[in-house]
Chain A
């Protein structure tokens, strides 16, 4: 455990630094003093009151939402990579985001209120989870390849339906839909629920981290070492699905985090799940937090979808790490 602490400490410091950057950056310039005053002391003047509102009502909730989104996606990526025995699996491979997107875009097409759209996205995600679970979990025989293919096929189906919606949608709604599909945090609401999911997920799977280590050697080997494999796989599926749903509800389908954060850490030598899971969550959180800062400042006051920046950074970094490996 002790050899894990430096890595986690470094990542935690980076997370704090990222948070401070996120509070600074924005279309209204604030000094370090403004930020500290707003965070620590009651407002004295009108200007300080505005700064305080910007920090507490806009930037901090947005930063927390961005961080928890990235952390959930990365944690879900770690879990699915163990479950599917594929280091490049990502939280969307099981069709969860496709289902959520179908619900959300369907609701947008129908012109419903924001809350109805959130509920529709949630229902779509649950439907996708249920379909994949029922089709791939038969009589205790859980084949990771079947699970993976079921998710891929389902995702392809969702993609076709999403294209259909985009094709028939009125011009005015197209931008909102595209932003949702690319991953966008500008409508992110309160992230309290997502934080609860994150804390529970890390707590539960840190507790059985050595079972994850054993399972990463393959199901048969894990069974020979004494892991109750089927219940563990069901728990991983449930945990990863919950994390993905919570993240998608906040920020749409933000790509590359779930695949990149755990894989980059592994290539840097972090492999024990007791360390990998919290470290990947921190790294994913920092990544999305900084990507979102770029998304809302580079073209300010225009806001861009955060998913564009995770992809712009994620693709070259991942290609670099992969080419280094061979």
Chain B
């Protein structure tokens, strides 16, 4: 579905990642891990067509991103931004409904199918009771769920999520992981920036960025190996459990 060729990522004059090739297929859930400033967000922006990569190219369904009209691309590729500091004046439901923007056919026509989808998504993210509350009065975690719900209302085939679990309580972290998995099972492809190794272990594939141009990719079990992660993050880790239930934890 998504294919990157010889991608180089640079920010602030530093090349963070070079010669990156990878392909994300339908039904796959990818985690992107790396230290702060290692280029995860910049990579996601390049994959979403929001910023040009320093070099290389990104294709969605065999077509270079730059060849898509913006609106058509947004029907297929959606992105959860890490930060959104814009004040929004409307209600939560209005905010989530903005996700239907790329699907609107006429500027004045109604969108019953979209409205039904918005109602369903609000329920899925536990937001139905808050639907008519002004967005500005929501808590940080509720806003994060509203942003997720907006992306789900956009209903793209490729979802790029930059730290989707930030600000969420434990229950909603788990719930969001489940919804991401459900989206993958439904034929979507997801690329997710994460910091929590436990959740990364539930992804299919993992991409590691070291921030100095290097990168590694592979099956989650292979990538989330103790020594490799200790080198990547520069801190000591311990392994708990064994087999499928094994996961790595920081030693403090």
Interface assignment of B94: CB less than 8 Å from any CB of chain A? yes
Are the CB atoms of B101 and A226 closer together than 8 Å? yes
Task: Flag B158-177 by CB within 8 Å of A: 1 or 0 each.
Answer: 00000000000000000000
Q: How far is the CB of A150 from chain B (nearest CB, A)?
A: 22
Q: Which of A208, A220, A221, A272 interacts with B90 by CB under 8 Å?
A: A272
Which residues of B have CB within 8 Å of A213? Answer: 90, 98, 101
Are the CB atoms of A220 and B102 closer together than 8 Å? no
Q: Which of A211, A224, A271 interacts with B79 by CB under 8 Å?
A: A224
In the complex with contacts A223-B50, A226-B71, A226-B101, A209-B107 CB distance below 8 A: yes
Task: Flag B40-53 by CB within 8 Å of A: 1 or 0 each.
Answer: 00000000101000
Q: Which of A1, A214, A225 interacts with B108 by CB under 8 Å?
A: A1
Q: How far is the CB of B174 from chain A (nearest CB, A)?
A: 26
Question: Which of B72, B89, B98 has the largest number of chain A CB atoms within 10 A?
Answer: B89
Are the CB atoms of B107 and A225 closer together than 8 Å? no
Report how far A87 CA is from B84 CA in the complex, Å: 16
Are the CB atoms of B74 and A85 closer together than 8 Å? no
CB-contacts of A215-246 with B (<8 A): 216-218, 220-221, 223-229
Are the CB atoms of B107 and A224 closer together than 8 Å? no
Report how far A171 CA is from B18 CA in the complex, Å: 71
Which residues of A have CB within 8 Å of B94? Answer: 271-272
| Interface size, chain A (Cβ < 8 Å) | 26
Question: Which of A209, A214, A217 has the largest number of chain B CB atoms within 10 A?
Answer: A217
Residues of chain A at the chain B interface (Cβ within 8 Å): 1, 85, 87, 206-211, 213-214, 216-218, 220-221, 223-229, 266, 271-272
Contact residue range for chain B? 20 to 34
> What are 28 A-B contacts defined by CB distance under 8 Å?
A87-B87, A206-B107, A207-B107, A208-B107, A210-B104, A211-B101, A213-B90, A216-B89, A217-B86, A218-B84, A220-B50, A221-B86, A224-B50, A224-B74, A224-B78, A225-B98, A225-B99, A225-B101, A225-B102, A226-B71, A226-B73, A226-B75, A227-B70, A227-B101, A228-B71, A271-B89, A271-B90, A271-B94
Report how far A146 CA is from B84 CA in the complex, Å: 20
Report how far A85 CA is from B84 CA in the complex, Å: 13
Q: Which of B69, B81, B107, B108 interacts with A220 by CB under 8 Å?
A: B81
Q: How far is the CB of B108 from chain A (nearest CB, A)?
A: 7
Report how far A194 CA is from B69 CA in the complex, Å: 35
Q: Which of A87, A210, A214, A218 interacts with B85 by CB under 8 Å?
A: A218
Task: Flag B125-159 by CB within 8 Å of A: 1 or 0 each.
Answer: 00000000000000000000000000000100000
Are the CB atoms of B98 and A224 closer together than 8 Å? no
Which residues of B have CB within 8 Å of A226? Answer: 70-75, 101-102
Q: Which of A85, A87, A210 interacts with B107 by CB under 8 Å?
A: A210
Which residues of A have CB within 8 Å of B98? Answer: 210, 213-214, 217, 225
Question: Which of B48, B78, B101 has the largest number of chain A CB atoms within 10 A?
Answer: B101
Report how far A8 CA is from B75 CA in the complex, Å: 33
Q: Which of B48, B86, B87, B89 interacts with A224 by CB under 8 Å?
A: B48
Q: How far is the CB of B60 from chain A (nearest CB, A)?
A: 14
Q: Nearest 4 pairs between A and B by C-beta? A: A226-B74, A226-B102, A271-B89, A226-B71
